[in-house]
């Protein structure tokens, strides 16, 4: 695990809030490496907004978390935070598995549909991998991150809205029915692509 890029952020925020960090805080953060076969990096605030819980699987062999994750894991180590971290780790690991790709001549709507199906699949696959397919733990993690980051739940071309992700996690398993719901929510009607998405992934049933 690499955390050195996050250390200035951790120290600065702890000082601002008058919090004394444990002397072995680096060892504490290193302990989270046991949850993944990918290298976990806590990065500095140059790549993410300072006080948001963000993560990325964009780099091969690495899972990257924002510095705010490292800070919160040290000073606010609640069960809810732990659960959100593990769920996020599973989500990002799932991005490194088989993703759905739009065709080379895809329309903008097809690209958006494929990206959002991938994100929804990662919510479910990550929960299957890391949280023993526990539906309530996924819902809790999504709600925790949404409320913590305290950002407008606005439209994105890459991710479903938080309210949509929570709805999907609450009311669906990952299967053709959910994929068709994602298509409906994004006004996407290409039946060939919808069927391609439905057969690309294995179904995932949460308990």
List C-alpha distances in Å: 31 to 3, 25, 59. 12, 10, 21
Residue located via tokens 């991998």: 129
List C-alpha distances in Å: 132 to 83, 127, 137. 12, 7, 9
Q: What is the pLDDT along the chain (207 residues), one digit of tens a residue?
A: 677 678 988 999 999 999 999 899 999 999 999 999 999 999 865 444 568 999 999 988 999 999 999 999 999 979 999 999 999 999 999 999 999 999 999 999 999 999 999 999 999 999 999 999 999 999 999 999 999 999 999 999 999 999 999 999 999 999 999 999 999 999 999 999 999 999 999 999 999
Residue located via tokens 């606010």: 76
Tokens read off for 162: 């938080």
pTM equals 0.94
Task: Cite the DSSP H helix spans in 51-107.
Answer: 67-75, 79-95
């Amino acid at each position: 695990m690499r955390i050195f890029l996050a250390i200035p952020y951790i120290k600065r925020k702890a000082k601002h809030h008058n919090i004394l960090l444990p002397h072995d805080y680096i060892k504490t953060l290193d302990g989270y490496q046991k949850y993944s076969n990918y290298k976990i990096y806590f990065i500095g605030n140059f790549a993410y907004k300072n006080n948001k819980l963000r993560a990325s699987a964009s780099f091969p062999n690495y899972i990257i978390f924002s510095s705010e994750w490292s800070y919160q894991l040290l000073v606010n180590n609640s069960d809810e935070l732990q659960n959100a971290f593990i769920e996020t780790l599973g989500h990002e690991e799932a991005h490194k598995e088989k993703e759905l790709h739009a065709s080379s001549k895809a329309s903008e709507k097809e690209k958006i549909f494929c990206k959002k199906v991938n994100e929804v699949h990662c919510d479910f696959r990550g929960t299957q991998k890391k949280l023993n397919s526990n539906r309530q733990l996924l819902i809790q993690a999504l709600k925790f991150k949404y409320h913590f980051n305290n950002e407008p739940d606005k439209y994105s071309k890459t991710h479903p809205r938080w309210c949509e992700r929570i709805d999907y996690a609450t009311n669906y398993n990952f299967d053709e029915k959910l994929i068709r719901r994602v298509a409906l929510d994004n006004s996407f009607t290409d039946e060939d692509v919808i069927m391609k998405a439905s057969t690309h992934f294995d179904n995932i049933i949460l308990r």
